[in-house]
Structure 1
Amino acid sequence: YVTANRLGQPHWLKTYGKVQWAMMVGLIPPLLALFQQLSLISPVANALAIPLVSFVVVPLTLLGALPLFDWALPLAHWALALCMDFLQWLDRLPLAVWTQHAPPDWSIALGVLGAAWILAPHGFPLRALGAILLLPMFLVTPEKPAPDSARILIFDVGQGLAVAVQTAQHTLLFDTGPDFSGEADSGNRILVPVLRAMGIARLDGLILSHGDLDHVGGTASVREALVPDWIKTSMAADHPLLAGASSVRPCRDGDVWQWEGVTFEILHPGATSASRKQHDNDQSCVLRISIGTRHILLTGDIERASEARLLKQHPDKLPATLLVAPHHGSKSSSTHAFVFAVAPQQVVFTSGYRNRFHHPHPTVVARYARQGAELLRSDRDGAILIEMNKEDFSLEPWRRTHRRYWTHIAPE
């Protein structure tokens, strides 16, 4: 298609260049749709890597498989190592990768048409105008909440917690989920890609409820990619995850701020709480998010002692439209008195599928059910998207509204 309708025999180098151009342009729509990223160094990388691997590395490797030609294998290794060093140098360059929001579906369809138009053979009219059809993928950004509204996303991070709160002009992240391995964590595998797809390139605030790894495992990746303006936490100021942070503040009962009509209030821990231990569940930050008469309560891993303090200090601030269950639904939390005081219409248990802690505990689930709450679980319902304003409160469990054959729940 790209090299068709040409008179004569074009030079091989020109044909090779056209094929590379076609790959770069043709992949713009699917790469933005699937990954929200474009490699800006790929033409240079391919110009070296493809010929070197095709005409040097592979032939030397095949030659080295023959008797008496084992000397070819070190040469193949040397050539490949040289190529990798160059590619890694390219990858470290500023703006090596273009990262952006997820384009709307209609703009992807236009982008496919635009790419086909640009790459059409000679004789096709006004091919350069195909670039205009690519522009909506870059320029049409996701809609933000209106003033006096908030979009809350409770992530499905397995056994852990991460919640994003977006207002008209600000974004807050509450906890960063678990660490999976040395190179993979909730931050770089889930939170950063999803937030960037939502059009969020920077965080205005980051709250780390406490130091347990299932709540702060993705912090390093989030800090590197989304650079929060400030961090509130119950962890010690010298915690390694806070190293180099420009503005770290302790979570303290009484902290209140407002963004575009959305009120945020810290209810726990108190200024006179017991000594702050790095992994002390009862020192978890508790955040209340309010718009008018609608409230969401994020409780971290608080247990009975903290619940008792909240019942004593803030009985009027506990009732909530939606509650993220304390400590993933552990039996050490969600006492009868606390559940009765909060009286949530919906409760979300953030737990991993068949987790080793058996969260949420059946007695806790039954306790909320008796209270009349709608029960949601991240291990079964996936991520929970909430749209909240003064008049409306809508809730969308991802696996219920975006069913796939591979997400059927296996029997317990």
Structure 2
Amino acid sequence: MRIVLLAFAFGAAWLQMQASLPQHPGLVSLLLLPVCLGALLLLRRRHLVVKAVAALACGLALGFYWAAWLAQLALAPQLAQADEGRDITVIGTVASLPYQFQQGVRFNFAVESAGGDVVPPLIALSWYAGFRDEITSEVGDVQPGERWQLTVRLQRPHGNANPHGFDYEVWLLEQGVRATGYVRPAPRVDTPNLRLDSFVPGFGNVVQASRAALRARIMRSLRGKEYAGVIVALVVGDQRAIPQSDWQVFNRTGVSHLISISGLHITMVAGMFALGAGALWRRSFFTDRQLPLFLPAQKVAALAGALAALLYVLLAGFGVPAQRTLYMLIVVALALWLGRITSITHVLCLALGVVVLLDPWAVLWPGFWLSFGAVATILYATVGRMARHTQADASRWQRARAAIALGAHTQYVVTVGLVPLTMLLFAQVSLVSPVANALAIPVISLLVTPLSLLGSVLPAPLCDWILLLAHFLVQMLAQVLDWLGARRFAVWTAPVPPAWSFCWAAFGTLWLLAPRGWPHRWAGMLSWIPLLTAMPSSPPPGQLWVTAFDVGQGMALLVETHRHRLLYDTGPAYGLDSDGASRVIVPYLRARGIGQLDGLIISHSDTDHAGGAISLLENVPVGWLSSSLPDGHPAVDFQRKLGQPYLRCVAGQRWSWEGVHFEMLHPLAEAHHDITLKPNARSCTVKITAGKHAILLAGDIEAAQEGELFVRARVSLAADVLLAPHHGSGTSSTQAFLNAVNPSLAIFQVGHRNRYRHPKAEVYERYGTMGIMRLRTDVEGAVGMTLSDDIQAASYRASGARYWYGPRDTER
């Protein structure tokens, strides 16, 4: 059974790596189930190896086709391409916990009717207080379970596609969301945006409304408090109010797993309810009914614990760690009720199977592997080895020592055992994690979480006092964590390891955690050497690597030579706490093991080019900054505050790195002092030559600057690859300029369905008429290029194709 369940999970994971779904997965699943069951029954008396192979094959096949069937069903609701970007009036209910932010609110909406239009049953909406250049509208006070009539504009699911980046499209698929959009001011008087019903009864609506009520109560009691978002996360699992700066501290200290409704918290709550229910039942609730004669107290305790866990997991939003704990507790409770002794490994594998059965996309997220990996590691390294001083006749001191030893050993096992997996998933491991967790686990799990739960349900003013106490404890802990995370040695980083390195390190870790008496257990740590000391890959001398990131409507390119790295632009600002650097560039650099940049060029001050500058400078050391930014710009001040060189980009600047030559073509020095020029006109324009080929990075220069370059530096313009000026706008890419550059490949860094309609159809066609190969990041995802004696280009959506990506329409 365990082999079948493990193989089932890996079969589902195998499906998630496919570029397309198999034919008729539902029918195949229905046919496979009796065939596999029959095969396992027929082979149950065969040799152990034969049974294991049969179980493995059956589990893989069932997991693969089951996941494919669910994927086919999830992909079926589809918004017609013709309906993208037009006003549609929908009626439905608010189906999630709304997230309030400065510009408005975000929520999921369950569609009941759409006035004859075909709209997916669940959509994700944003309601802005004024949006772009459109009419300002008042944001509705939407609450879970309310029925609303809304005018919306929708699009099919789409997200940025970058190596080592978050896949927004599959996340939406897992949530059942098949369209995203925003609320529009109602175009007609007879279809206003208005609330139709204050609450629509339903199980899901009751759960979400309860979560909203608890969150509102906590935020009222902790209004203006810095760590109110942490308290909310511990009670209802909503982490969106925790700022990115706090997450950086939690991640660097390795305690982020505690800032949620984790398995440890669920087990603790379930245990408290089980102990309380069992104690009351044994005493018949202090009556003379002798209830244990009708039903044993152990069964009542198990039932109470399982129900408490279920309630808490519902509040948590049903995350994978919470699911794993819930299913394990339910299996144990069922085993106790049925009078069957069950192995802990059977419990773990059954929980694994149930998670994947209900949510085959769970295997794509780090939390799945870390959650089950942590429990499996603890079982491997502790079961049957820590039994001393737990007998009934042991003294309290002996039991206390045994409990402390078990806790310390468990923390050691988790810290050491998850090193290979943590490096594979995050390309870093916290060195201060043991100390941080030794402090954080008792504070968060034994003090803050119970106080937060208690404070969220007690009447005022008692709830205010308790929640303030919980917040004070978090605040004190955060100061210690901030100090630990600020240490230089807090985090060890290295590139994401290849498969062989990870497997070797995992084998060595199992050797290290083997039972006492195992020969040379310490030698297992030597297997970590390739894992932790790997260096980031780099091109050979004279060769150039260029990565054009998919950052939406903005620019960001990483240029790599043999020993140097340069970033051109930092992507756009998405919001107050999110930008192209924090979302795309920094995670990519971390996964590659790139700990610093030799140079950063910010072409000009527009936020789609400089929006991620501060995030980048805060997270990645930069040797020098060159830009056309005005004095007083935050990025310039920040760089100077760090004591690093800053210079303005000026035509004529030249340098070489390992046989690759860089030349600044624009702007002229006097352009920096011309107040009549727009920022676009001062865009830093760089030509990079590697071997026989060159790439021209033109920022947002427009027709006037193109004409100036044509006159002043016509010969220098020739390049094989061109970053389309100003994202392919109608004010750039003149015919004369394109003739002078004469590229064979053009990169358009544009956002999906961007409001500027970049690239303009006539400009895009101009490139096509010249026979230039055109690659758009909104269609292709990130584009990687290699320049030396020839040019090679690969798009992320093509090389890493997945079945949930829609067809690529390169002619849009």
Partner of 2:491: 97
1:148-170 CA-to-partner distances (Å, cap 9, x unmatched) read: 11111111111100111111111
Measured after TM superposition, the shift of residue 380 of structure 1 is 1.0
Partner of 1:351: 750
When you count helix as a share of all residues, which structure comes out higher?
A: 2
Q: Using the alignment, how far apart are the partners of 1:287 and 1:15 within structure 2?
A: 60
Query: Which of the numbers 563, 588, 592 marks the counterpart of 1:194?
Result: 588
Measured after TM superposition, the shift of residue 199 of structure 1 is 2.9
Measured after TM superposition, the shift of residue 65 of structure 1 is 6.7
1:273-324 CA-to-partner distances (Å, cap 9, x unmatched) read: 4715685211111100002320100000010001101111111122211111
Partner of 2:445: 54
Please say if residues 204 and 230 of structure 1, whose CA atoms lie closer than 8 Å, have aligned partners that are also in contact. yes
Partner of 2:388: 9
1:251-277 CA-to-partner distances (Å, cap 9, x unmatched) read: 111111111100000111123447156
Deviates more, 1:305-314 or 1:264-273: 264-273
Q: Which structure would you say has the larger RCO, counting Cα contacts within 8 Å and 6 or more residues apart?
A: 1
Query: Which of the numbers 708, 715, 727 marks the counterpart of 1:316?
Result: 715
Measured after TM superposition, the shift of residue 38 of structure 1 is 1.5
Structure 1's 277 and 164: CA in aligned 2 closer, same or farther, altered over 3 A? farther
Measured after TM superposition, the shift of residue 59 of structure 1 is 3.9
Please state if 1:134 is matched with 2:528.
yes
- Which amino acid is 2:650 matched to? R
Query: Which of the numbers 385, 400, 403 marks the counterpart of 2:798?
Result: 400
Aligned residues: 411
Please say if residues 58 and 76 of structure 1, whose CA atoms lie closer than 8 Å, have aligned partners that are also in contact. no
Structure 1's 315 and 300: CA in aligned 2 closer, same or farther, altered over 3 A? same
Please say if residues 177 and 217 of structure 1, whose CA atoms lie closer than 8 Å, have aligned partners that are also in contact. yes
Secondary structure, in 3 states, of the residue corresponding to 1:407? coil
Measured after TM superposition, the shift of residue 392 of structure 1 is 2.6
Please say if residues 696 and 722 of structure 2, whose CA atoms lie closer than 8 Å, have aligned partners that are also in contact. yes
Partner of 1:44: 435
Secondary structure, in 3 states, of the residue corresponding to 1:115? helix
- Which amino acid is 2:408 matched to? G
Query: Which of the numbers 630, 644, 647 marks the counterpart of 1:249?
Result: 647
Q: Using the alignment, how far apart are the partners of 1:235 and 1:278 within structure 2?
A: 13
Partner of 2:414: 23
Please say if residues 57 and 77 of structure 1, whose CA atoms lie closer than 8 Å, have aligned partners that are also in contact. no
Q: Using the alignment, how far apart are the partners of 1:123 and 1:71 within structure 2?
A: 55
Please state if 1:217 is matched with 2:602.
no
Secondary structure, in 3 states, of the residue corresponding to 1:204? strand
Partner of 1:34: 425
Structure 1's 277 and 285: CA in aligned 2 closer, same or farther, altered over 3 A? farther
Please state if 1:112 is matched with 2:506.
yes
1:79-112 CA-to-partner distances (Å, cap 9, x unmatched) read: 4531343234223331333333322232112122
Q: Using the alignment, how far apart are the partners of 1:190 and 1:67 within structure 2?
A: 43
Structure 1 portions without partners, runs of 5+: none
Q: Using the alignment, how far apart are the partners of 1:99 and 1:293 within structure 2?
A: 36
Q: Using the alignment, how far apart are the partners of 1:140 and 1:59 within structure 2?
A: 43
Q: Using the alignment, how far apart are the partners of 1:7 and 1:177 within structure 2?
A: 53
Q: Using the alignment, how far apart are the partners of 1:141 and 1:239 within structure 2?
A: 35
Partner of 2:700: 301
Structure 1's 370 and 211: CA in aligned 2 closer, same or farther, altered over 3 A? same
Deviates more, 1:238-247 or 1:128-137: 238-247
Q: Using the alignment, how far apart are the partners of 1:332 and 1:18 within structure 2?
A: 66
Please state if 1:156 is matched with 2:531.
no
Structure 1's 73 and 318: CA in aligned 2 closer, same or farther, altered over 3 A? same
Please say if residues 234 and 276 of structure 1, whose CA atoms lie closer than 8 Å, have aligned partners that are also in contact. no
Structure 1's 59 and 275: CA in aligned 2 closer, same or farther, altered over 3 A? closer
When the two chains are superposed, the root-mean-square deviation of aligned CA atoms in Å is 2.3
Secondary structure, in 3 states, of the residue corresponding to 1:337? helix
Secondary structure, in 3 states, of the residue corresponding to 1:375? strand
Structure 1's 277 and 385: CA in aligned 2 closer, same or farther, altered over 3 A? farther
Structure 1's 86 and 63: CA in aligned 2 closer, same or farther, altered over 3 A? closer
Deviates more, 1:299-308 or 1:136-145: 136-145
Secondary structure, in 3 states, of the residue corresponding to 1:92? helix
Query: Which of the numbers 657, 672, 675 marks the counterpart of 1:259?
Result: 657
Structure 1's 214 and 6: CA in aligned 2 closer, same or farther, altered over 3 A? same
Q: Using the alignment, how far apart are the partners of 2:495 and 2:676 within structure 1?
A: 39
Structure 1's 88 and 362: CA in aligned 2 closer, same or farther, altered over 3 A? farther
Secondary structure, in 3 states, of the residue corresponding to 1:300? coil
Structure 1's 204 and 84: CA in aligned 2 closer, same or farther, altered over 3 A? same
Secondary structure, in 3 states, of the residue corresponding to 2:381? coil
Please say if residues 546 and 559 of structure 2, whose CA atoms lie closer than 8 Å, have aligned partners that are also in contact. yes
Q: Using the alignment, how far apart are the partners of 1:314 and 1:66 within structure 2?
A: 72
Secondary structure, in 3 states, of the residue corresponding to 1:129? helix
Deviates more, 1:280-289 or 1:23-32: 23-32
Q: Using the alignment, how far apart are the partners of 1:168 and 1:212 within structure 2?
A: 31
Please say if residues 454 and 466 of structure 2, whose CA atoms lie closer than 8 Å, have aligned partners that are also in contact. no
Structure 1's 64 and 351: CA in aligned 2 closer, same or farther, altered over 3 A? closer
Measured after TM superposition, the shift of residue 67 of structure 1 is 6.7
Measured after TM superposition, the shift of residue 7 of structure 1 is 7.0
- Which amino acid is 2:777 matched to? S
Please say if residues 63 and 69 of structure 1, whose CA atoms lie closer than 8 Å, have aligned partners that are also in contact. no
Please say if residues 719 and 741 of structure 2, whose CA atoms lie closer than 8 Å, have aligned partners that are also in contact. yes
Measured after TM superposition, the shift of residue 226 of structure 1 is 2.4
Structure 1's 59 and 305: CA in aligned 2 closer, same or farther, altered over 3 A? closer
Measured after TM superposition, the shift of residue 139 of structure 1 is 1.3
Q: Using the alignment, how far apart are the partners of 1:71 and 1:126 within structure 2?
A: 57
Q: Which structure would you say has the larger Rg?
A: 2
Partner of 1:341: 740
Partner of 1:183: 577
- Which amino acid is 1:406 matched to? W
Measured after TM superposition, the shift of residue 250 of structure 1 is 1.7
Q: Using the alignment, how far apart are the partners of 2:618 and 2:455 within structure 1?
A: 43
Structure 2 portions without partners, runs of 5+: 1-379, 390-401
Q: Using the alignment, how far apart are the partners of 2:537 and 2:459 within structure 1?
A: 65
- Which amino acid is 1:268 matched to? H
* TM-score normalised according to structure 1 size: 0.92
What are the equivalent positions in structure 2 for 1:357-396 lying under 5 Å apart? 357-389=756-788, 391-396=789-794
- Which amino acid is 2:790 matched to? D
Deviates more, 1:330-339 or 1:181-190: 181-190
Partner of 2:242: none
Please state if 1:75 is matched with 2:466.
yes
